[in-house]
């Protein structure tokens, strides 16, 4: 088991980090919202891994599906309902 930080990409194999979804480099906890979607705790900033989100929802990642999903997230970001969204391509 390991935990990869959605913010900086650091990988931890420490059982406590994996259980708590904690990054020792960012000093940041993460809350998994859905496949490929993680919220920084407590700021609430969302990090979206487009490919992981597509695969987790049963879509094949290609130029078309990536562009469509990115547009969805950018729409959400523009509506300002969430503190901030970072899209990882």
Closest to Zn ion by CB, 30 or 73 = 30
Instruction: Kindly state whether residue 8 participates in binding Zn ion, applying the rule CB under 5 A.
Output: yes
SS (H, E, C) 21-49: CEECCCCEEEEEEECCEEEEECCCCEEEE
Closest to Zn ion by CB, 11 or 82 = 11
Sole window of 1-9, 12-20, 52-60, 69-77 interacting with Zn ion (rule: CB under 5 A): 1-9
Which pair of tokens denotes residue 57? Answer: 């929802």
- Closest to 22 (Cα-Cα) out of 37, 36, 42, 52: 42
Sole window of 8-16, 37-45, 53-61, 71-79 interacting with Zn ion (rule: CB under 5 A): 8-16
Sole window of 3-11, 13-21, 65-73, 80-88 interacting with Zn ion (rule: CB under 5 A): 3-11
- Closest to 51 (Cα-Cα) out of 62, 38, 39: 62
């Amino acid at each position: 088991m390991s935990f990869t930080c959605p913010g900086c990409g650091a990988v931890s194999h420490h059982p406590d980090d994996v259980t708590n979804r904690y990054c020792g480099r960012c000093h940041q906890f993460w809350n998994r919202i859905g496949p490929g979607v993680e919220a920084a705790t407590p700021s609430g900033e969302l990090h979206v891994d487009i490919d992981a989100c597509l695969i987790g929802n049963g879509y094949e990642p290609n130029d078309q599906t990536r562009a469509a999903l990115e547009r969805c997230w950018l729409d959400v970001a523009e509506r300002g309902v969430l503190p901030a969204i970072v899209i990882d391509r």
